[in-house]
Amino acid sequence: MIRIDYDRCDNCNVCWQACLAMVIDRGPVVRPEGETLCIECGHCYAVCPRGAITVLGYEEEEARELPAERPVSPEAMMRLLRGRRSCRGFRKGAEVPDEVLQGMIEAASVAPSAHNSRPLKAYVFRDPRTIEDMRRRTLAYYRRMARIFNTPIFAAAWRLCGLDEEEHRILSGAFLMITDPSRDRDVLFYDAPCLLVITAPRLNSMAQGDAWLASENAVLYAETAGVGTCFNGFLIMAANWDRRLLRIMGIPWKERVVGALMVGHAKSEWKREAPRRTIPVKRR
Ligand SMILES: Cc1cc2nc3c(=O)[nH]c(=O)nc-3n(C[C@H](O)[C@H](O)[C@H](O)COP(=O)(O)O)c2cc1C
């Protein structure tokens, strides 16, 4: 909910224009039903030229003025986006500085959120023993999955359900690949010293999108700090089906693991951008 300081307000009404939830009537005045309508998005606060608005409950937050110029040029942003790659080899024992992790969580916290509901939680794993327990349990899960996925009856059931056969082929191969006992390196977590997991309430479908956006914000922030990241789809899938793994992670069942990132210092440096296809566009 918000409050307007009428000693400062000059009735320009930009707050009224900015309010999606129609908490503010022209005047500006806060509507009586504002209490239930306000999603505390802070748009009225951010746009008010006179600093006349307070978002209740956020009084202690530091109000940083925005610079007149955009902090990142489109060229710099594109270079950052094109230069970011998933890191598949982390320097063993090279810890991620606290301030970088804190920055990643702050970046995740300011991502767009449906209805500004921000129902996400972040979990940071840095204890090598917990990470090892997670690794073992995840691999145990995929050993089971590799057996099931590679039976003819499962493949037939997959087809009968109308599921994507190509996905079945990719997953079957991937499960065999990560559980292959002849592998002499960590092909699940790539020796990452830290895992960052973002969860959303299991039964809230919109929140899944929030969590993806939050995770990508964290990835991009890490990139600016020279810290490597990589999503881990294996951990995401296993954690959402295997209660024992979720217990090891200390995450309650009512939360769904959406974003799972390995975080650390990359073993090798990228020298150049790789070619990528632009997504097909239909203009109408
Ligand atoms: C949802 C999701 C899950 C992923 N899971 C894994 C994974 O388990 N292991 C891995 O090495 N890379 C994983 N990746 C990284 C992709 O393989 C990678 O984004 C893709 O190959 C393109 O490479 P780039 O990110 O370097 O541009 C995942 C990416 C996404 C978006």
- Domain boundaries defined on the chain: 2-55, 84-284
Dihedral of CA atoms 195, 269, 104, 233 in degrees, nearest 10, equals -40
User: Which of 230, 234, 263 to probe ligand 1 with, by most ligand atoms within 8 A of CB?
Assistant: 230
Nearest Cα residue to atom 30 of ligand 1? 231
Same topology for domains 2-55 and 84-284, yes or no? no
- At 64 the pLDDT is 86
pLDDT interval class at 171 (50, 70, 90): very high
For residue 260, the CA-to-ligand 1 centroid distance in Å is: 11
CATH superfamily of 84-284: NADH Oxidase (3.40.109.10)
**∠ Cα 93 97 98 (to 5°):** 125
CA of 230 to the centre of ligand 1 (A): 6
Q: What type of residue sits at position 76?
A: A
Asked if residues 191 and 92 have their Cβ atoms less than 8 Å apart, the reply is: yes
Whether the predicted pLDDT of 157 surpasses 90: yes
The phi, psi pair for 125, rounded to 5°, reads: -115, 120
Average pLDDT on 6-21 reads 95
| Contact yes or no for 91/194 (Cβ under 8 A) | no
85 lines ligand 1 (CB under 6 A): yes
Mean pLDDT, residues 49-67 taken together: 90
Residue (of 211, 190, 215, 189) closest to 201 by Cα position:
211
Which pTM does this prediction carry? Answer: 0.94
Q: For residue 93, what pLDDT is reported?
A: 83
Helices 152-160 and 165-179: crossing angle, nearest 10°? 150
For residues 189 and 135, is the Cβ–Cβ distance under 8 A?
A: yes
Q: At what angle do helices 152-160 and 128-149 cross, to 10 degrees?
A: 80
Top-confidence residue, 59 or 140? 140
Average pLDDT over residues 155-176: 94
- Mind listing the pLDDT tens digit for each residue in 233-259? 999 999 999 999 999 999 999 999 999
In a 3-state reduction of DSSP, which class is residue 282?
A: coil
Q: Tell me the pLDDT tens digit for each residue of 71-101.
A: 999 999 999 999 999 999 999 989 999 999 9
Give dist(CA 67, CA 70) in Å, integer. Answer: 7
Cβ neighbour number for residue 238 with a 10 Å cutoff: 25
**88-139 pLDDT, tens per residue?**
999 998 999 999 999 999 999 999 999 999 999 999 999 999 999 999 999 9
Closest CA to 156 of 143, 147, 168: 168
CA distances from 207 to 109, 115, 193, 198, 269 (A): 13, 10, 28, 11, 34
pLDDT higher than 90, residue 193: yes
CA of 248 relative to ligand 1 center, distance in Å: 24
Q: Is the CB of 234 under 6 A from ligand 1?
A: yes
- What is the pLDDT at residue 87? 97
Give the mean pLDDT of 150-161: 93
Can you give the length of the chain in residues? 284
List pLDDT tens digits, range 61-79.
888 899 999 999 999 999 9
Say how many Å lie between the CA of residue 231 and the centre of ligand 1.
5
- Which band of pLDDT confidence, cut at 50, 70 and 90, is reported for residue 152? very high
With a 6 Å cutoff on the Cβ, whether 88 touches ligand 1 is yes
For domain 2-55, which architecture applies? 2-Layer Sandwich (3.30)
Instruction: Please tell me the distance from the alpha carbon of residue 192 to that of residue 96, in angstroms, as a whole number.
Output: 10
Whose Cα sits closest to atom 11 in ligand 1?
88
